Amino acid sequence: MAVKIRLARHGRKARPFYHIVAADSRAPRDGKFIEKLGTYNPMAPTNKTEIKFDRALYWLQVGAEPTETVRNILQNEGVMYMNHLLGGVKKGAFDQAELEKRFQIWLDTKRKKEEDAVSKQYSSKQAALKKRLEIEKAINEKREQEIAKKNSELAAQIEAENAEKEEAEKPASEETEESKETETTDNKEEVVEAKEEPTAEEKTAETKEEEEEEKE
């Protein structure tokens, strides 16, 4: 029986999720399988794959053929490299200690690449965030300048209107003061004239004196 290691689709529309399975090559793609070897989530930002390392390695050693996508997954997880190293041990190219040494070097290199990728992604995000903050700062400064300019123009306009209003009110107040002064002068003249005119009693006394003079 020819065995294939392939993906069996699960999840929902637009959010796929896959099982990594060992199945009969004649079985339908999402049909029955022999063994589930792990999962693959292409939508996850990190840790996309969970794999049963030893069982996947076993199926490779007994001749199971992975599909192209699964082969890439197994290469990334080190299963394909371990299978290659075991082949070297069987051929006598190196011993088990050398195998473990080489595989550890591979793991360290892989871990370093992943850390660098995460660091690069973080730096990229930080740079993008910094750039966005700078753009927002520039926009806010420009907006503040525009608001300050409008406020300054409005204050100047109000000051000009107040000055015009004061100029318009000044002649009216001067006319009022002149009117008051004229009225005061007229009143004084009337008082003086009133004082100069003789009273009725004074007129009577003067008339009596004139009559007595005529009798004499």
- Going by their DSSP bridges, the two strands 15-24 and 35-40 should be labelled as antiparallel
DSSP 103-169: HHHHHHHHHHHHHHHHHHHHHHHHHHHHHHHHHHHHHHHHHHHHHHHHHHHHHHHHHHHHHHHHHHH
What's the confidence (pLDDT) of residue 28?
80
- pLDDT, residue 69, reads 93
User: From the first residue on, what is the mean pLDDT of each consecutive set of 10 residues in the chain (216 residues)?
Assistant: 89 89 86 92 86 95 94 94 94 93 94 87 85 90 90 88 80 59 58 51 58 57
Query: What per-residue confidence (pLDDT) applies to 172?
Result: 56
Domain ranges of the chain: 3-94
* pLDDT value for 176: 60
Q: Label residue 191 exposed, middle or buried (CB < 10 Å: 0-12, 13-18, 19+).
A: exposed
Count CB atoms within 10 A of the CB of residue 51: 20
CA distance 139 to 171: 49
Topology of the domain covering 3-94: S16 Ribosomal Protein; Chain: A; (3.30.1320)
Give the per-residue pLDDT at 77.
93
Pairwise CA distance, residues 109 & 115, whole Å: 10
**pLDDT of res. 92:** 92
Q: Give burial (CB, 10 Å; 0-12/13-18/19+) of 69.
A: middle
User: Is pTM, for the whole model, over 0.85?
Assistant: no
Q: What is the pLDDT of residue 208?
A: 59
